[in-house]
Each structure stands twice: as structure tokens, then as C-alpha cells.
Amino acid sequence: MNKKILLAFLSVSTLFTSMGLAYADEELTPIPRISNQWTVDVTPYVWLPNVSSTLNYKGQYLNTADANMNNIISNLKSGAMISGEAHYGSWGMMADVVSATLQKSGTTSVTPAPGYNFRVAMKPTLQQTMLTGAATYNLVNNKDANVDGLLGVRWISMTATLNLALDGTNYSLSDSKTVSTVDPIIGFKGRYRIADSTWYIPFYADIGGGGGTTNVTWQAMAGVGKTIEKWVDVSLVYRGLYYDMSSSKTNGAGLLQKTTFQGPQLSATFHF
């Protein structure tokens, strides 16, 4: 009798242990499960891109806030970066906000005539705020991959300021222009699980334009991530964002011609 009780106890223990291990494995999968309840993800991140922008000033093309990743911290005056998603079943919505002010100081030599040499101090500044919002719909969801299609808009506001000062004199010049645009975008995003592990490849891509001041805009990212716990995972990706503005001078367009942001991004995603 005691042997039967012990055998039954061991059988139940083995069953619950197996269920617990299976549940633990399910908890640690990096691929989200589709369910008929609300899920929310919040992702604060740090993006350190190389920034290059071309300014059309009085018919001349000039480089404005042109900073590389090595000096981005010294050029960054302020910034905030965060994204979020909410899902119910196959449908969802997402939002991403990037706000940054970059400023770079330098001097250049000017020789208007033989024997005259002046140094001009320049302080170009680029302020930009970008908001991407989209509705999403799940296209693929299995144990190895999750892919959502997305349709939405991206709003961006850029202010380019050029400050010039002639060393040794009181002469200075400052000019500032602002351009903003809202453009429809279409794209996809998702994750691919690596070898049935808690490691995964995050990816994102969108393209759009036609908002009145934009010829084309696109954004893309890909990298590697790891699920640490059920409620959090981390990722490191390379992210690029590009804007090609219209050459028209109406409504403030024509100031910023081409702007590129590209560099690594470190993120932590919290699941609720």
C-alpha cells in the first residue's frame, strides 16, 4: 500500500514538474502569443546615430549639424526616446517618439581679398522631433516568428539654425527656419527566434512620403535581442532613418534637403 502511495506521489510530482518546465519554457519564449486580451509593451531606448543634414541656404547647400557617433554626446543638447505597443488579438497599435537637439561649434577661414584673412565662427543647430504612429495587424505567428504589417503616419518637425560671427568684430548673422511634415507610411515589423532559444532577431522597416514637403522617407532596423524574464527583454539593433525633402520653397520646404540618422540603439522592452 505504501509503495502504491509512493508511486502515485512520484507520478504526480513528475507530472507537475514536467508541466512546470513546459510552462517555464513557454514563459521564456521571445515570440509573443496572440490572445484575446490586452497586452502592452513599453520600450525606453538610447539611440546614438550619426547625423547628417543638408541645408539649402539662399541657393547654396551647406552641412548643418553633422555629428558622428564618437562626439554625439557632446553635440546632444537634449533628447528623449521611447516607444510603445498595445495589442488585442491580431490587431494592435504602436507609437514611437524621438526628440533631440544637436549643436556643433566650429570656425573656418575666409579670405575675401589678398592680404585679408578672417575667421568665422559657426554654430549650426538641428532640432528635430519625430512621432510615428500606426495600426498593426498580425500576419505570421508561430513558435519561431512573429510578423506584423503596419499602416500609419510619421510626423517630423525640424528647425535648422545657422549662427555666424566674424572673430574680432561685432558682426554676426543668425537665421532659423522650421519645416514640418506628416507622411503616410507602410511597413512591417517582428521577431525571429534563434534556434529555439530565448535569443531573437528584431526587425522593422517602413517607407512613405507624399506629405507635401517630403519626396520619400524610410526607416529600418535589425539586430539581436534576448528575453531575460517573461516581463522584460533587451535588444541591440542598428537603426537608420532618412528624409528627402522637396526642393519647393512653399510652406517652409526647401530648407532641409536630405537628413540621415543611422547608428546603434540599445533598448529594454517591458511587457505588461
Domain annotation for the chain: domains and CATH numbers: 31-271 (2.40.128.90)
Residue 252 predicted with pLDDT over 50: no
Residue 88 predicted with pLDDT over 80: yes
Lowest mean pLDDT among 208-212, 219-223, 251-255, 264-268: 251-255
pTM of the model: 0.73
**What does the pLDDT read at residue 181?**
86
Residue 52 predicted with pLDDT over 90: no
**What does the pLDDT read at residue 50?**
80
Higher local confidence (pLDDT), 204 or 14: 204
Q: How confident is the model at residue 94 (pLDDT cuts 50, 70, 90)?
A: very high
**What does the pLDDT read at residue 26?**
55
**pLDDT tens digits along 141-185:** 999 999 999 999 999 887 777 666 666 666 666 666 777 889 999
**pLDDT tens digits along 10-46:** 454 444 344 444 434 455 999 999 999 999 999 999 9
Higher local confidence (pLDDT), 32 or 127: 32
Cα atoms found within 13 Å of the Cα of residue 237, Cβ hemisphere only? 24
β-pair type (50-57, 76-88): unpaired
Burial class of 116 by CB neighbour count within 10 A (0 to 12, 13 to 18, 19+) = exposed
**What does the pLDDT read at residue 24?**
44
Contact between residue 224 and residue 195 where contact means Cβ atoms under 8 Å apart = no
All three cell numbers of 205, joined, read 522597416
Distances 208 to 188, 266, 272 between C-alpha atoms, Å: 12, 25, 31
Amino acid at 156: I
Lowest mean pLDDT among 146-160, 217-231, 238-252: 238-252
Residue 118 predicted with pLDDT over 70: no
All three cell numbers of 203, joined, read 526587425
Q: What's the whole-number average pLDDT of the chain?
A: 78
Average confidence (pLDDT) over 128-151: 96
Q: How confident is the model at residue 245 (pLDDT cuts 50, 70, 90)?
A: confident
Lowest mean pLDDT among 50-54, 120-124, 261-265: 120-124
Question: What percentage of the chain has pLDDT greater than the value 70?
Answer: 60
**What does the pLDDT read at residue 114?**
62
Amino acid at 47: W
Alpha-carbon dihedral angle through residues 29, 32, 35, 41, given to the nearest 10 degrees: 120
Average confidence (pLDDT) over 124-135: 85
**What does the pLDDT read at residue 1?**
46
- CA 55 to mean position of chain CA atoms: 23
**pLDDT tens digits along 103-116:** 666 665 555 556 55
- CA 123 to mean position of chain CA atoms: 26
